Each structure stands twice: as structure tokens, then as C-alpha cells.
């Protein structure tokens, strides 16, 4: 079955970068887009962007342009989301999620990123 397994929790200082991974299994990796969605503590869901694992092309939400970078490694069926210039407001759970025709159906378990001095 479809599995998306994310890397573990991170604690970072303001100004640093974080790179979260999401390993996909149980389906042809290059067939489905993978998204990143974050959720700040006690808040709603915020879409960050999407990557096409087939060719590595990406679309980012405007507010993350220039600060978020999504990449993939087809040899390990893993996608990555790197967020730079971290600030306290970036403290959140970051989810990867697989879509079919843009409908997000399968989610990773989430990765808590804490930004604190």
C-alpha cells in the first residue's frame, strides 16, 4: 500500500535552514505528484508547493518562493523540502502528501520543525 515516511523532528535556530525528507513506497514513484503542506501549532493547513517526481518540476505558493526548495531523488524514491532563513513563525508540522489529479489522498506522518533561539 502507499506509504510516505518522513524524517524525524528538528530543532533549528532562527536564520538556519531545515531539510525534511519523505520516502515514498508502494506505488510507481514518478507517477504521482507530491505536495508539502504545513500546520502551525493550533492553526489550519497551509499548502507550500508541489513537485513532479518524474521531471523534478515544481510549483510553489507565492509566500514560499525563494525560501522553499523541493527536490527529489528517484533512486531512493524520496522527496525533500528545504526551507531557509527560518523564523519562529515557521514552527509547524510539515506534511508530505501524494495527489492524484490534484486531490491529496495519502499523507505522511508529519515532521515537527521547531524554530527557537
Please report, as ranges, the residues that interact with other proteins according to CB under 8 A: 35, 44-47, 49-50, 59, 61-62, 95, 97, 99, 101-105, 107-110
Residue closer to other proteins, measured from CB, 39 or 54: 39
- Closest to other proteins by CB, 104 or 113: 104
Least distance to other proteins from the beta carbon of 40, Å?
Answer: 12
Task: Give least dist CB 56 to other proteins, A.
Answer: 17
Give CA–CA dist 30/49, Å, rounded. 17
Give the nearer residue to other proteins in terms of CB position, either 2 or 16: 2
Closest CA to 49 of 25, 76, 72: 72
Q: Tell me the closest approach of the beta carbon of residue 44 to other proteins, in angstroms.
A: 5
Q: Residue-wise over 5-41: b if at least 16 C-beta within 10 A, else e?
A: ebbeebebeeeeebebbbbbeeeebeebbbbbbbeee
Amino acid at each position: 500500500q502507499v506509504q510516505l515516511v518522513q524524517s524525524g523532528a528538528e530543532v533549528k535556530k532562527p536564520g538556519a535552514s531545515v531539510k525534511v525528507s519523505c520516502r515514498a513506497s508502494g506505488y510507481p514513484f514518478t507517477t504521482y505528484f507530491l505536495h508539502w503542506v504545513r500546520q502551525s501549532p493550533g492553526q489550519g493547513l497551509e499548502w507550500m508547493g508541489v513537485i513532479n517526481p518524474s521531471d523534478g518540476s515544481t510549483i510553489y505558493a507565492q509566500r514560499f518562493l525563494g525560501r522553499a526548495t523541493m527536490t527529489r531523488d528517484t533512486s531512493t524514491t524520496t522527496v525533500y523540502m528545504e526551507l531557509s532563513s527560518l523564523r519562529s513563525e515557521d514552527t509547524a508540522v510539515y506534511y508530505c502528501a501524494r495527489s492524484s489529479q490534484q486531490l491529496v489522498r495519502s499523507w505522511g506522518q508529519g515532521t515537527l520543525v521547531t524554530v527557537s533561539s
